[in-house]
């Protein structure tokens, strides 16, 4: 499976998992400031900006390890642009990572994986 297909499949599994947990989808693959975040969801009174990392095997390590400081900064930029665009600057915001193991068909959700 190529990287693009595994990413699409991983995002679909992550979204299905989060919707089952009661989250509400606000946006997918939102782009701003030349950056992107995979999913934006409402979780109660919080807006969760979610980065999904799918792995077909463990050869490249854990998905969470791929969310580097630079990637975090890019997601924060996107979040700030999204909140400004929708007049939600005062919203309760959280940054989550979802790891998807495509071989085992499992999802690991890490709420609050990083902060501003």
Name the token pair of 89: 């600057």
Enter the CATH code of domain 3-114.
3.40.1350.10
Residues 6+ apart with CB under 8 A from 56: 1, 6, 102, 103
- Confidence (pLDDT) at 2: 64
- Confidence (pLDDT) at 79: 97
- Confidence (pLDDT) at 86: 96
Residues of the chain with pLDDT under 50: none
- Confidence (pLDDT) at 4: 72
Residues 6+ apart with CB under 8 A from 9: 1, 54, 100, 102
The pTM (predicted TM-score) of the whole model is 0.93
């Amino acid at each position: 499976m190529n990287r693009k297909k595994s990413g699409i499949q991983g995002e679909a599994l992550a979204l299905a998992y989060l919707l089952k947990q009661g989250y509400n989808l606000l946006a997918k693959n939102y782009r701003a400031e030349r950056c992107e975040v995979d999913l934006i969801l409402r979780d109660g009174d919080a807006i969760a900006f979610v980065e999904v990392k799918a792995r077909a095997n463990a050869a490249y390590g854990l998905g969470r390890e791929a969310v580097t400081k630079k990637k975090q900064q890019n997601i924060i930029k996107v979040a700030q642009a999204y909140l400004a665009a929708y007049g939600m600057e005062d919203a309760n915001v959280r940054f989550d990572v979802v790891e998807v193991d495509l071989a085992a068909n499992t999802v690991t959700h890490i709420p609050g994986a990083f902060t501003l």
